[in-house]
């Protein structure tokens, strides 16, 4: 593939509950980690054709990962992975809405938008997007995805 | 959002079938929904929460005053249904360690834990969580989410507030009145308990509608946390809140324990219909879903 994936853009849109502003960069990085892990594992740039997206849920809670596997046509590239030679993510946007109380962060909603181009063996592209929400919580300082509400849409031409 | 997109996709397909190709330009853009998926890692398949309304007056301890509203709420996190079981506050029950009394006195004797124990003794269901709201807390929460819709069944008039039958959007102060008024209701405390359940259902519907707005959930939970005395950590609060909001308001069944009015000494009380109570509990205990009528 000659085209590179778009940069992962993560912004904090809402953070209340007495959290010090100085914590924002660290919080953004910590929340970005499981989301980036999912995107990279679910919609990898290379290695096609493949139906192996096992790495997608490494940063999910076990129960959420089990549910997400049932929706793998939405939560991963399983629907098309076997028919493609490559994938380019030309949009990777994440907006974070964070809940905190008394200065302690409890969870976050990540509104995710992925713009994806799948390359077929003849060089043509099929375009689709995956968008929706991921719900994150933490165990100690380790953030995990514990829920999701995602839609996958095909875009044309 | 998704439904709207599906309708649009259906409309495009219909146009494609009835409009000659020459009469329409080739499409330049299009968008169709392929698939959607939703799931949440809930701690349990069924969660039971006891929601108590404390009638603490200014200066009185919220957790050690009588409970004016007692609602046992079961939530099925798998099929996203729920049941609210209203327990009339005058129900005459065994309060562990304190003998027989009205169930609303249990919180005075031993706080929310004792009320939960009394409810468990009556129903056989031990709540996983107990939630206590004060009058000002309820008003703030309802106002904080922009009001709550519920159905008014009977004409209600307590001089300060008048509600006519039909759908109504309640402000915080109105919601408190709606939850408390029992005069004029043919079923008295039983109808009042039903109204409290309807208010919970309406509150859930309002919250679920709000989820469409980015950041609404976190803001609403922030309001809740600010006015709630809880031993749940912020992480547990977030997970529980997200789990509760997977419940489909259309699948919430509002029930009230059956019983009859009578006297215990000089006190006017409610005697629970134990046969009906056992029957309802047997129906909902494992799945929080009403298969019979309640």
ipTM reported for the complex surpasses 0.90 = yes
Average pLDDT over residues B267-283: 96
Contact indicator for B274, B105 with CB cutoff of 8 Å = no
Taking CB atoms and an 8 Å cutoff, what residues of chain B touch A70? Answer: 37, 39
| B40 with A99: Cβ contact below 8 A | no
pLDDT at B32: 52
| B37 with A150: Cβ contact below 8 A | yes
H-type helices in B124-232, by residue range? 135-144, 172-180, 189-210, 216-226
Tell me the pTM.
Answer: 0.85
* B17 confidence band (pLDDT: 50, 70, 90): very low
- For all residues of chain B together, what is the average pLDDT? 86
With a CB-CB cutoff of 8 Å, which residues 44-103 of chain A face chain B? 61-64, 67-68, 70-71, 73-75, 79, 95, 97-102
Length of chain B equals 294
Q: Give per-residue pLDDT as tens, A6-61.
A: 999 999 999 989 899 999 999 999 999 999 999 999 999 889 999 999 999 999 99
| B36 with A151: Cβ contact below 8 A | yes
Measure CB to CB from residue A150 to each of B36, B222, B235 and give the nearest one: B36
Q: Give per-residue pLDDT as tens, B204-258.
A: 999 999 999 999 999 999 988 887 777 889 999 999 999 999 999 999 999 999 9
Q: Are strands B82-86 and B252-256 parallel, antiparallel or unpaired?
A: parallel
Residue B149 has pLDDT above 70, yes or no: yes
Long-range contacts: A110-113, Cβ < 8 Å, 24+? Answer: A110/A31, A110/A35, A110/A134, A110/A135, A110/A136, A111/B214, A112/A35, A112/A39, A112/A150
Residue B11 has pLDDT above 60, yes or no: no
CA atoms of B203 and B51, how far apart (whole Å): 13
With a CB-CB cutoff of 8 Å, which residues 233-272 of chain B face chain A? 233-239, 242
| A154 with B214: Cβ contact below 8 A | no
pLDDT at B19: 32
Here the tokens at position B27 are: 């499409």
Residue A64 has pLDDT above 60, yes or no: yes
């Amino acid at each position: 593939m000659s085209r590179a994936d778009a940069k992962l853009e993560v912004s904090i849109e809402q953070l209340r509950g007495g959290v010090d502003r100085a914590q924002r960069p660290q919080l953004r990085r910590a929340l970005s980690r499981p989301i980036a892990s999912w995107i990279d594992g679910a919609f990898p740039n290379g290695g096609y054709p493949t139906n192996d997206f096992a790495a997608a849920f490494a940063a999910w809670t076990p129960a959420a990962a089990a549910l997400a596997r049932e929706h793998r046509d939405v939560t991963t590239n399983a629907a098309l992975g076997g028919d493609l030679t490559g994938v380019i993510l030309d949009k990777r946007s994440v907006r974070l809405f964070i809940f905190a109380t008394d200065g302690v962060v409890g969870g976050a909603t990540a509104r995710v938008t992925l713009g994806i181009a799948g390359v077929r063996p003849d060089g043509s592209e099929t375009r689709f997007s995956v968008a929706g929400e991921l719900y994150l919580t933490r165990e100690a300082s380790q953030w995990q995805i514990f829920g999701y509400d995602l839609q996958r849409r095909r875009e044309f031409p | 959002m998704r439904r709207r997109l599906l309708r649009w996709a259906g409309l495009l397909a219909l146009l494609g079938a009835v409009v000659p190709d020459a009469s329409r330009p080739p499409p330049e853009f299009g968008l169709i929904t392929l698939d959607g998926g939703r799931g949440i890692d809930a701690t349990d398949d069924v969660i039971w929460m006891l929601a108590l309304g404390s009638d603490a007056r200014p200066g009185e301890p919220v957790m050690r005053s009588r409970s004016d509203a007692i609602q046992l709420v079961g939530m099925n996190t798998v099929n996203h249904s729920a049941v609210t079981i209203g327990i009339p506050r005058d129900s005459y029950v065994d309060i562990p360690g304190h003998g027989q009394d009205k169930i609303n006195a249990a919180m005075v004797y031993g706080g929310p834990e004792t009320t939960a124990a009394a409810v468990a003794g009556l129903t056989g269901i031990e709540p996983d969580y107990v939630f206590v709201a004060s009058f000002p807390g309820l008003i703030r929460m309802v106002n904080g989410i922009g009001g709550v819709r519920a159905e008014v069944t009977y004409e209600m008039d307590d001089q300060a507030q008048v509600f006519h039958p039909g759908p109504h959007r309640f402000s915080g102060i109105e919601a408190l009145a709606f939850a408390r008024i029992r005069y004029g209701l043919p079923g008295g405390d039983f109808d009042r308990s039903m109204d409290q359940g309807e208010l919970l259902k309406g509150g859930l519907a309002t919250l679920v509608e709000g989820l469409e707005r980015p950041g609404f959930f976190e803001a609403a939970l922030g309001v809740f946390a600010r006015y709630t005395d809880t031993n749940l950590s912020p992480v547990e609060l977030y997970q529980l809140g997200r789990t509760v909001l997977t419940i489909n308001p259309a699948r919430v069944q509002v029930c009230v324990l059956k019983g009859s009015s009578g006297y215990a000494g000089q006190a006017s009380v409610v005697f629970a219909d134990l046969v009906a109570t056992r029957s309802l509990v047997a129906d909902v205990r494992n799945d929080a879903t009403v298969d019979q009528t309640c």
